[in-house]
A and B are shown apart, each in its own frame.
Chain A
Amino acid sequence: MSISFDTQPPQLTGIGFLRWIWRQLTSMRTALVLLLLLAIASIPGSIFPQRSQNPLKVNEYYGTNPELARRLDALSLFNVYSSAWFSAIYILLFISLIGCVLPRTWEHFKMARALPPLTPKNLERLEEFNEVKTSLSSQAALDWAEAELRRRHYRIRRLPDSIGAEKGFIRESGNLLFHLSLILLLIGVAYGALGGMRADVIVSEGETFTNVATSYDSLSTGSLFSVDDLPPFSIKVEKFTAKYDIVTSAPLDYQLNAKVVDLPGAASRDVVVKVNAPLTFGDTRVYLQANGYSPIVTVRNKDGAVTLRGAIPFLPQDGNLTSIGAIKVPDMEPQIGFVAKFLPTAERTKERGGFSSYPEPLKPILDLAAWSGDLGLDSGIPQSVYRIDTEKLTQIGLAAMSPGERWEIPGGVGSITFEGVTPWVNLQVVRDPGKKFSLVGAILILLGLLVSLFGRRHRIWVRVSENGGDTIAHIAGLTRSPGLDREIKTLADSFEKGSQ
């Protein structure tokens, strides 16, 4: 690795040219430029909405500015961190780092076995220089200096009339550890992305979730992940408790009490899941990510037979959990759909219509608009479970229901009963097999950084000469770190004291 590099490609073909490319790529300057490029390339991701973080905002952008959005999308500006150009930068950086650091590590190993450098001819020309007169013989003086330097953890090269000593090898070791650990961190990130998965599932209180791919509402996997890797646990959501500040409605605490079965047939155990305390199954963790309400309804047809019964998750719209949802009843003649809004603590004003003023169900109201016609569930086009496309439907009635109430749907098609409400939780299942490597890498990065910043590298030489009956010790040093002047001064002082 060198800082300077030739800017002109040599007149070489084939292997020579490749070697030249490799040398350019693995020069430190290239690595630094790539690192700066990576930083600059990550900026657009904090300016434009990202699909990975907030797909709704990307849709909004398309809505307000379709032409610009299409152009931005063509440049992957809504998926910056998985885009080809971003990946290109970090893969090049990765290669550059490896090509830069591995040869240097090898050099460092060789140096570790080598002796300290030979004593320069003119010690008085070095940056720190000191002369001490001593009554010892020249060999005794060298013995003394050697013992003193060894005590200070210097490595020694003994020559007939001088000593070369070196310390602070660890500074370069720290530097290399730092860069090697960066590589380990990147490996952890890559392995986590390739072998990992992330899935979401909404579970209402009282329901059980079994960890198989078909249970998830959404699932994204890395290319090396196989669904056979899913640990076969199941979680029964026993009770979800949310506490809120009475004045501000700000959430104070979420707690999920659940029963976990680790393997099919095993005994269940009670667990508590909180926002900062996920459940752990090896590399897989289950997080409590969101919560809302599922109104429980029973729908009957005109003969009084039950056509739908259950807890239907609604989507929260604000901090007071005003929630929207859709109740779809295909087994009716004609099919019925309810566009619904659930208000845990209902208020109504002229301007805003119905809304919730507190997130707990103090005065729950279910607002319904009943629509009849073909719900289009058999069309094969995937539909949101929270919305109904009412374009081909006819509205047949409106109602606002309290728990326990029953509403006879106009037109004699049947009835709906609002039985009550139960909370749901969004469990996020995440597998990241790479994160332990990333963690170790990060800790070693910090360690390497501390050593390379604060380790002190000094070289000291001592040469003795006879002058009349006296021995004179010439002490000099070279350094790239602070503190050498003190080191040499104390050495000279102790020389004077110790050799008398």
Chain B
Amino acid sequence: MSKSDWAYLSNDLIYASMAVCALAFVTFTYELAWSIKVGAGAEKTTINRRAKVLRIAQALTILYFLILAVAVFSRAISAGRVPWGNMYEFSITGALAFTFAYLVASLKFEVQWLGILITFASLLTLGTAITLLYVPSAPLVPALKSAWLVIHVSAAIISGGVFLLANCIAGAYLILERMELKNDGVRPPWAERLPKLASLDHLSYRLVALVFPIWTFSIIAGAIWAEAAWGRYWGWDPKETWAFITWVGYAAYLHARVTAGWKGRRAAWLCLIAGSTFLFNYVYVNIWGSGRHTYSGL
């Protein structure tokens, strides 16, 4: 296959993965709607059937993930390099990393219910990528030709995926807490099988604590690379500035939890604020910002 064949294959597979992802989303929604309708006192057979629907949705998510993985891989072959050269490629790889983080987390924790959010966010990301951010597959500009691209960007993408997941959980915490407060500590029936508030709170903290060193590493790797490519390791480029702000945000979050004993609502808000600085960096600085990180071909 020629390079352009691989590029076409990649594009087709992105659409295919979106279709499967949409199916998974619909199945998750169906299951959620069902659980809202029948509520807590349902018969055992209904609960079993619902569990089956949830398993189907989960299987569709895995299928979507595999197709997307091949799509990203084909894109890499067509360009002859790692698929992290522009924002379109960051987006499709980011969706892959985000879904991967969810699938791995669902092996260890009870987070299957997050699937509806994950598939929705993936659809949004991929849809934006292929319609607004698409650029043809092309080789890298000289400044990006470095082993640090793989190291720096992969660490940043992993961090982004896990930060986003931690934010989804913090957001779920805030919504569920509100519902419980309104209703004397009782959740609506459909939300009963979701994890307890305390475990949501703990889970989002665990995820941030896990990924904060990776984010730190990503910034350090970026600085080492910048020293080789641009002649300085830190220059307050907009992307660097916002990476620093995100770092400070999550450092404050960890401090607040470990040293000052913050928990629950305040911690969840802090987590969301820090996470939004990451998203802001990705969207604003890439599209409207200036600076040396704008190789994105936009």
Q: Which A residues have a C-beta under 8 Å from some C-beta of B?
A: 3, 28, 32, 35-36, 38-39, 42-43, 45-46, 49-50, 52-54, 57, 80-81, 189, 198, 245, 248, 250-254, 274-278, 285, 287, 289, 428, 430, 432, 435, 438-439, 442-443, 445-446, 449-450, 453
Contact = CB atoms under 8 A, between A and B. Distances in A.
Contact of B223 (A43, A46, A430, A442): A442
A289 B248 CA distance: 31
Contacts, number: 106
A32 B257 CA distance: 13
A278 B138 contact: no
Contacts of B141: 250-252
Given A245-B138, A446-B216, 10 more contacts: A36-B252, A81-B236, A250-B139, A251-B142, A253-B145, A278-B228, A428-B231, A445-B216, A446-B220, A449-B213
Interface stretch (B33-41, B43-51, B105-113, B285-293): B285-293
Contacts of A189: 234
Interface string B237-268: 11001101100110110110001100000000
Given A275-B229, A287-B231, A442-B220, A43 B142 contact: no
6 closest Cβ pairs, A-B complex: A46-B238, A39-B248, A275-B142, A276-B146, A287-B231, A46-B241
Contacts of A28: 259
A245 B228 contact: no
A52 B236 contact: yes
Interface string B195-232: 00000000000000100110011001001110111111
B232 A276 contact: no
A463 to B, nearest CB: 29
Contact of A45 (B220, B232, B241): B241
A57 B248 CA distance: 29
18 contacts: A35-B248, A36-B252, A42-B236, A42-B244, A42-B245, A43-B245, A46-B289, A46-B291, A198-B231, A251-B142, A275-B143, A275-B145, A275-B229, A276-B228, A278-B231, A285-B231, A287-B231, A446-B213
Contacts of A446: 213, 216-217, 220
Interface string B140-161: 0111011010000000000000
Interface of B: 138-139, 141-143, 145-146, 148, 209, 212-213, 216-217, 220, 223-225, 227-238, 241-242, 244-245, 248-249, 251-252, 254-255, 259-260, 285, 289-291
A254 B142 CA distance: 7
Contact of A450 (B138, B213, B242, B259): B213
Contacts of A57: 290
Contact of B248 (A38, A50, A428, A443): A38
A322 B14 CA distance: 38
A80 to B, nearest CB: 7
Contacts of A276: 142-143, 145-146, 148, 225, 228-229
A399 to B, nearest CB: 35
B294 to A, nearest CB: 12
Contacts of B255: 32
A253 B235 contact: no
B142 A42 contact: no
Contacts of B235: 52-53
A248 B138 contact: yes
Nearest to A438: B233
Contact of B142 (A49, A274, A439): A274
A57 B143 CA distance: 23
A32 B260 CA distance: 11
A273 to B, nearest CB: 12
A52 B241 CA distance: 14
A450 B213 CA distance: 7
Most buried by B among A39, A49, A275, A438: A39
Nearest to A38: B248
A46 B285 contact: yes
Contacts of B231: 198, 278, 285, 287, 289, 428, 430
Contacts of A277: 228
Contacts of B229: 275-276
B145 A39 contact: no
Contacts of A289: 231
B232 A453 contact: no
A43 B145 contact: no
Most buried by B among A3, A46, A254: A46
A275 B292 CA distance: 14
Contacts of A453: 209, 212-213, 254
A438 B232 CA distance: 12
Nearest to B254: A453
B241 A43 contact: yes
B291 to A, nearest CB: 7
Contacts of A254: 142
B228 A53 contact: no
Contact of A53 (B146, B217, B225, B236): B236
A38 B220 CA distance: 19
A422 B255 CA distance: 58
Contacts of B290: 49, 54, 57
B47 to A, nearest CB: 31
Contacts of A3: 259-260
Contacts of B142: 251-254, 274-276
A103 B254 CA distance: 22
Contacts of A274: 142
Nearest to B224: A439
Contacts of B139: 245, 250, 252
Nearest to A50: B236
Contacts of A36: 248, 252
B220 A449 contact: no
Nearest to A441: B220
A178 to B, nearest CB: 10
A80 B241 CA distance: 12
A211 B154 CA distance: 38
A435 B259 contact: no
Contact of A35 (B213, B216, B227, B252): B252
Contacts of A430: 231-232
A52 B245 CA distance: 20
A435 B233 contact: yes
A35 B223 CA distance: 20
Contacts of A428: 231
Nearest to B255: A32
Contacts of A198: 231-232
A189 B232 CA distance: 11
